[in-house]
A = this chain, B = another copy of it.
Amino acid sequence: MSNSNNESLEFLFHPRSIALAGITTANPEHWTRTFLNGLLEFGFESPIYLVNPKGGEIEGLKVYPSFQDIPDAIDYVISLVPARAAPSLVKESADKGVKAIHFCTAGFSETGEDEGIRLEAEVVALCRKLGIRAIGPNCMGIYCPKSHMSFGPVFPKESGPVGVISQSGGNVNYLVRQAALRGVRFSKVISYGNAGDLNESDFLQYLAADADTRIIAMYIEGIRDGKRFRQVLEEVTKEKVVILLKGGLTEGGARAVAGHTAAMAGSEATWNSLCKQFGMIRVDTLDELTDVLVTLLFMPLPKGRNAVLVGGGGGASVLITDEFEKRGLRVPQLPQEIISQIREFTPPAGNILRNPVDYSQTMIYPERLSKTIDIVSRWEGTDFLVKFMRTGQSPQLGGIQGMLDIVKAGVFEKDGASSKPVAIVLEPSIIVEEAKYIFQSLQECVSLGLPVYYSFASAANAINLVLSYSEDRARHGYSRDLGFCLTTPVAKAAQTDEVRSGAKE
C-alpha cells in the first residue's frame, strides 16, 4: 500500500471538502484553531466542516456534533482529537467516504509508552483496511498556497518552486517563516511526523513528479523503508536539486528522534554515503538550509569561485576574506590597472583599494562606491560580488542608515552597476532601533530579488555549497547550469506580497 504512485497523492492537495474534527469551540486562542485560521486566511474555496460534540458556531461556521450530522461527503479530515479518540474517528470518516486524514495530534508512538504505540498501530491498520491514507500522526500536515491550504496563517500566499517534506512541524514552521522573509516561496510543504502510513518516500516521489516543484528541501529524522527511499532518491536527484537536513546523527540526537517521531535515526556514515552517491546538498541547520535556498533562487550561478568583496572596515575585510577562502572560494588580488582606475577618484587614506575593497572613508559618496562596483564587476577576474555591511560596529543610527542608503545606491541597480552575480551580507542587530532599518533594508533587497545573508560565514558557506553542487553535477555529465534562478519573477512576487509574513499583532 505504501507503493503509492504520484497520481494517487495528488488528491491530498485538492480536497473537495475538509472537516476539522475536535476543534475547540470555547477558546479562540487554542492551538486547534490554527488550522481553521489558516484555511480562512488563505480563502480555501471548498466547504469546511467543523466537528465537536458540543456543537455551536465558530467564525460564522456551524459546528456539527458528529460526522453523521454533516449533510455532504467529506474528502479530507484534519484530526485534532486526542489520540485515544482517533480509532473511532477513522471509522466515522470511512462512513463519510473520507479519502485522507491528517492526524495532527501527538500522544502516539513518539511517547515511547505502550498505549501510544498500540494506538498508532491500530489507527494505521484501520486506515489501510478502510482505504484511507493518513498523514502523521503528530504533525502539521499540508501547506499548499495554490490550493489555499495552510497550517500557518501567516505564511506567504503566493507559490514558489520549493517543495518541503519535514518530520517536524516546528522546524518547517521556522523554515517557511524565515525563508519567506528572504523571498523564498513554496509549492507544497508537508509536515508528516511519525509517518505511520504515508512516509518520506511517498512524499519525495510525489514532489519528484510535481511540476510546480523544482527544488526539494527535506528535514528527516528517520527512514521507514530504506530500500525504497534510495530508489526514489536516485531518480529525483537526476531531475531536481535536493537539500537534506538530517536530524539525530549523534547518539543523543538519535534518542531525541525516538522521542519526537519514534523513528530510527540511522548512522552518519549511511547518510554521508547517500548524499555523496546521489549528489544532495547537505546542511546542518535550518538557517543554512534557508541560505542555500536563497542562493539557488536569487543568485545567478557564478562562473567560478573568484569573489570581489566590497564593504567598510579593515578588520571586517580581513575576517570576511578568511571566511570565504577557508571554504574554497577565492578573493583574488585586484590587478594594478583596476586599482589605478579606482584610485583616480578615491583617496588612499582610510580606504583599502585591494580585495576586499574597503571603502570606509569614501562610503559617504554613493556615486564613488557605485563607480567602484562597476569597475570591479567588469574585471574579468571577478566571478561574483559580495557587498557586506557590518552594522554591529557602528555606534550611531545615522551611520547605519547612511551605510544602508549607500548599499542601496551601489548595488540595487544591478543591470547598471554590476554585471556579475551579487550577494548582500546584511548583519542583523539585536538593538531594536537598528533592527528597524535593517529589516527595511532586507525588504528592499528582497523585493529586488537580491540574495541576502546574515553573516560573512553564512554567505560563504551557502555560495560554496551551491557551487560545489553544480561542479559535482558537471563532473557527472549534467549541465552545470541549474537553470532556475528566479531573480526576476520572485522579485515581482515579493513586491506584491506581505514579505514580513511573520509578525501579526
A330 lies within 8 A of B390 (CB):
no
**Whose C-beta in chain B lies nearest to the C-beta of A439?**
B432
Interface residue? A392 (CB, 8 A): yes
Does the CB pair A260–B503 fall under 8 Å?
no
Q: Which residues of B contact A324 (CB under 8 A)?
A: 250, 252
**B350 and A171 contact, CB distance less than 8 A:** no
Chain B residues with Cβ under 8 A from A395's Cβ? 152-154, 173, 177, 502, 504
- In the bound complex, do residue B249 and residue A322 qualify as a contact, i.e. CB atoms below 8 Å apart? yes
Contacts of A82 in B (CB 8 A): 349
Copies of this chain, tallied across the complex: 2
**CB neighbours of A287 from chain B (8 A):** 455
Report which residue of A82, A249, A252 has the largest number of chain B beta carbons within 10 angstroms of its beta carbon: A252
Assess A250 versus B326: contact at CB under 8 Å? Given A350-B107, A439-B430.
yes
Question: Interface digits, A58-92 against B, CB 8 Å rule (1 contact, 0 not)?
Answer: 00000000000000000000000011000000000
In the complex where A350-B106, A435-B430 touch, is A321 in contact with B250 (Cβ < 8 A)?
yes
Tell me if B260 and A314 are in contact (CB < 8 A): yes
Q: How far is the CA of A321 from the CA of B395 in the complex (A)?
A: 36
Which of A49-57, A125-133, A225-233, A354-362 lines the interface with chain B?
Answer: A354-362
In whole angstroms, what is the CA distance A174 to B435 when docked?
16
Contact: A352 with B432, CB < 8 Å? no
Interface size on A, residues (CB 8 A): 103
* A348 engages B286 (CB within 8 Å): no
Cα A153 to Cα B316 with chains together (Å): 21
Q: Mark A206-232, 1 if CB is under 8 A from B, else 0.
A: 000000000000010100000000000
Name the residue on B nearest A351 (C-beta).
B106
Query: Chain B: which residue is nearest A181 at the CB level?
Result: B430
Residue from B314, B316, B325, B429 in contact with A110 in the complex, judged by beta carbons closer than 8 Å: B314
CB closest residue in chain B, given A112: B354
State which of A5-13, A161-169, A466-474 sits at the interface with chain B.
Answer: A161-169
Contacts of A495 in B (CB 8 A): none
A170, B393: Cβ atoms closer than 8 Å: yes
Task: Specify which of B177, B315, B322 is in contact with A393 (CB 8 Å cutoff).
Answer: B177
- Say whether A248 faces chain B, with CB atoms less than 8 Å apart: yes
| Minimum Cβ distance to chain B for residue A354 (Å) | 4
A17 at the interface (CB under 8 A from B): no
Q: Could you tell me the distance in whole angstroms from the C-beta of A452 to the nearest C-beta in chain B? A: 10
Query: In the bound complex, do residue B393 and residue A174 qualify as a contact, i.e. CB atoms below 8 Å apart?
Result: yes
Interchain CB contact under 8 A, A392 and B252: no
**A454 proximity list for chain B (CB < 8 A):** 430
- B residues in contact with A221, CB < 8 Å: 315, 318
Distance, CA A317 to CA B348, complexed state (A): 51
**Given contacts A106-B350, A248-B318, is CB(A356)–CB(B429) below 8 Å?**
no
Which A446-477 residues have C-beta < 8 A from chain B? 454-457
- How many angstroms from the CA of A325 to the CA of B354 in the assembled complex? 41
The residues of B that contact A436 with a CB separation of less than 8 Å are: 432
What is the distance, in angstroms, from A468's C-beta to the closest C-beta of chain B? 17
Supplied contacts A256-B321, A287-B455, A428-B428, 16 more A-B pairs, CB within 8 Å: A113-B348, A138-B314, A171-B393, A173-B394, A178-B392, A219-B315, A249-B322, A249-B326, A252-B325, A253-B319, A253-B322, A259-B317, A285-B319, A430-B439, A430-B442, A434-B503
18 CB < 8 A contacts A-B = A105-B349, A110-B314, A111-B348, A168-B314, A168-B318, A171-B316, A181-B431, A250-B321, A250-B322, A253-B318, A255-B355, A260-B317, A260-B358, A430-B435, A430-B439, A430-B454, A431-B500, A433-B505
Which residues in A have some Cβ–Cβ distance to B below 8 Å?
Answer: 29, 82-83, 105-107, 110-113, 116, 138, 152-154, 166-174, 177-178, 181, 219, 221, 247-253, 255-257, 259-261, 284-287, 312-319, 321-326, 330-333, 348-350, 352, 354-356, 358, 360-361, 390, 392-398, 428-436, 438-439, 442, 454-457, 500, 502-505
Complex A-B, nearest 8 residue pairs according to Cβ-Cβ distance, in ascending order = A168-B315, A107-B349, A250-B325, A171-B315, A260-B314, A252-B331, A174-B393, A170-B313
